[in-house]
Amino acid sequence: MSYSGKYKAAVITAARKPIELWEYDHIDPGAGCINIAVVRAGVCGTDLHLWQGDSEYEEPFIIGHEGLGRVIALGEGVKTDHSGMPVAVATLQQNNNFYRVDPNVPLDAFIALGCALPTMLKGLENMGPITRGSAVLVQGCGAVGLAAIFLAKIAGARAIICIEGNSERQKMAARFGATEILDMSRGKYTTASARSRRIREIVGPQGLELAIECSGHAAAVTEGLSLLGRNARYLLVGTWAGAGTVTLSPFEVVHKALKIIGTTYASPENYYQAARLVEAHFREFPFADCVTHRFPLTHVSEALEMVAGGTAVKVVIEPQEE
């Protein structure tokens, strides 16, 4: 099977410059490969960092890596039902893994946590599972934070405490199962000391067993470390790009026997696991409702500005829409 014609891609030509759309020729899929028409592309915080010039890359650069599509062409040897079926892709790039997804599950449910859920699954591989009955702190409730809340909830955490300043993300965190949400932008918990007092009221003097940094702000790490109890674990996921330093007391790390783990990226297996988890739980958790803003491919720059503004929960591109 083949597909003729051209396709368009969103291209960064220089940091903070408007995104350009370039045309490319379609290439027939090779043996064991497929071509897809992308129907949902999630805008990740990583895309924003790339556009803002926080990470090094060779320009020009095709932006975007979270994707769902429908099969439009099959290469030799591909065993599947038919063209048109929905698939999830482990990052949008050539010669990557793809997985069939349940057509009865809303596409928005799969794209909602994009690469965030696979990344959190990789983090748990590196750190170890969330312990049933544990008290968990999630710093930041964007897509990565919501993925952390979801995994803590299905693991049976007794307390899931979240720190977030965005009111829309706070509402979504509550719907995913957060038991306490501390608003760092307004009200009683705008200072680290006030948040610390409240968290200790919830979990007791022993402190937290697990904290997961999902905010992308280095300052959050200092606060997170101060809240951990003895033998606690700290998973750093959010600070993928940018700059910043924190003060770390080796004495505190040793005295508390802390385990601090950084994690990034995910394996194709993690993407597969994420798709299966969404299929199993999409009726219990509001995955699809996380998609708060949609843009056509012609408005990628506006989509990135929306992410930069920090008011959205999840922004997606719908390339087949005009």
Taking the C-alpha atoms of residue 229 and residue 150, their distance in angstroms, rounded to an integer, is 23
Same domain? For 132 and 179 the reply is yes
**Residue 188, pLDDT above cutoff 90:** yes
Same domain? For 141 and 58 the reply is no
Q: What are phi and psi of 167, to 5 degrees?
A: -65, -35
Asked if the structure places residue 213 within a domain, the reply is yes
Same domain? For 31 and 91 the reply is yes
Of 99, 43, 96, 105, the residue nearest 71 (C-alpha): 99
Asked if the structure places residue 1 within a domain, the reply is no
Asked if the structure places residue 322 within a domain, the reply is no
Same domain? For 120 and 257 the reply is yes
Same domain? For 90 and 182 the reply is no
Q: What are phi and psi of 9, to 5 degrees?
A: -135, 150
Asked if the structure places residue 256 within a domain, the reply is yes
CATH number for the domain that contains residue 231: 3.40.50.720
Q: Which of 246, 262, 278 is the last residue of a domain?
A: 262
Same domain? For 110 and 121 the reply is no
Q: What is the DSSP letter of 298?
A: G
Q: Which of 262, 286, 308 is the last residue of a domain?
A: 262
CATH number for the domain that contains residue 302: 3.90.180.10
Per-residue CA distances from 206 to 23, 65, 186 (Å): 58, 41, 28
Q: Which residues of 154-183 are buried (b: 16+ CB within 10 A; e: fewer)?
A: ebebebbbbbbbbeebbbbbeebbbbbbbb
Q: pLDDT of 65-114, one tens digit each?
A: 999 998 888 888 887 656 677 887 766 666 668 888 999 999 999 999 99
Instruction: Count up the domains in the chain and report the number.
Output: 2
Same domain? For 35 and 90 the reply is yes
Same domain? For 56 and 160 the reply is no
> Residue 175 belongs to what domain range?
116-262
Same domain? For 245 and 127 the reply is yes
Pick the more confident residue, 176 or 56.
176
Q: pLDDT of 37-68, one tens digit each?
A: 899 999 998 899 889 988 777 889 899 999 99
Q: pTM for the complete prediction?
A: 0.93
